[in-house]
Chains A and B, each alone.
Chain A
Amino acid sequence: MTRRGAGLALLACGIAGLPFLASSAYLLTVFNIIGLSTIVTLGLILLGSSGQVSLGQAAFYGLGAYGSALLSRDLGWSPWATIAIATAATAGVAYLVGVPTLRLAEHFFVLATLGFGIIVNVLMVQLVDVTGGASGLRDIPGLRIAGVSLAADRAFYYLVWGLALAALLLAQNITSHRTGRALRAILGSEVGAAALGVEVSRYKMQVFVASAAYAALAGGLYAHYIRFISPSPFSLYASLFFLIMAVVGGLTNIWGGLFGAALITILDQVIRAQVPRVFPRVGGEYQTAIYGILLVLIMIFFPSGIVRGALDLGRLLRPVGPEPAKGGSA
């Protein structure tokens, strides 16, 4: 077994055992949110591997959630089917968005996704007849397997983490073989990659569609887990939040996605609980101050993520001596 395989098996065991160690409903909810965020963040990291940043990720998350919720609630279809349909449809939307936008230079692409995200969010608020407007959609059916409800936090935990691990493996596969090498070439230099025969636009489109599908899958799961959706979790602010998770983990580092999603979700819970004690007057999104400063610090000091940054720091601090042999035949 390779080291990577062993690491993954260990991670899977850890995740499977976690609910037995920490079984309060609150903790399970937090773990579930981490699982959902991991899937979305993995999508952003796939995209980041091709040198693109999206500020519309929450819009795809929302399209998956609203699509699946509406189909299952109003047409009575099985949520499993509607999650799949909504994910596929969102991937289609991403393709349509990608055709004109992916040929833009990277900072214009950021702008285009930002604009797309805001338009989708405005539609969620304004199309009251379809989306329920700002007050949202209620009574979304929950997920069931053979008549057994998965609404309980623990049952959903295994579902979402099973899918998150599958998403992780898939992303790992995408980035470690031929496509991965092509993406790294594109990240280094689009012109250079094209000159070497890499079909730049095809690969960029593939990861963009994949990233949207990741987000939509998580969105569908979210809708049937919480069973109530409104436009606010899919706003520009949410897109930024996912971006922070990706950046903390390292924008091109697949395993960092898991780490970033976990760290930021936990940090968010701590901040929500602690900051009001210091600043009792404030409500709303005061925590943006902390995230903003965090974002700036990470981008200045650890532009490839905290994990990589800590490793580099460790190497720097190690006493001077012969360079240690690099990890075997990896």
Chain B
Amino acid sequence: MQKLIKDGVITENTWTLIAKPEGDAAAFVVPSDDVIVPLNVWLAQKNSLQTRKNIGVWLDSDETAEQLGDDAKTLPLIGVNFPLFMDGRAFSTARLLRERYGFSGELRAIGNFIRDQLCYLRRCGVNAFAFSNPEMNLEAAIKSLNDFNEYYQTSVDQPLPLFRRRA
């Protein structure tokens, strides 16, 4: 199985990403192993899926943290998708999941984000990065996580803006 970057190190990916089902989300048969299901499957089958510990949910870029709401706290993993790397909605969605909906599990970027977005994504609370490109050089990509080590604004990794920390 393809590897990913999690908490700054390369690790095995034990989760299977489930694509959006073609038909009725309520009728989709969710596999029994560790899976990340699309939001619509989660919303349609929440009652049964909630009893499992190995269910993650992924949000597409046009789906909001609010749609997951308080469910976020109960999940071990949430994915935020980049259909295109230029679609930056996941940056806001990630912050909302962390800062407003109390999500403390693995927050995973999925889809077509690029290496050069890693530092900002980390700042917005994303801690796992599953590149869509299997050829991706993860060793090299890790370096981009720390393009910056000092920041002006409040964010997930450093809630105090620089103006509150300047001596």
Does A pair with B?
A: no
Binding site for A on B (CB under 8 A): none
Residues on A facing B (Cβ under 8 Å): none
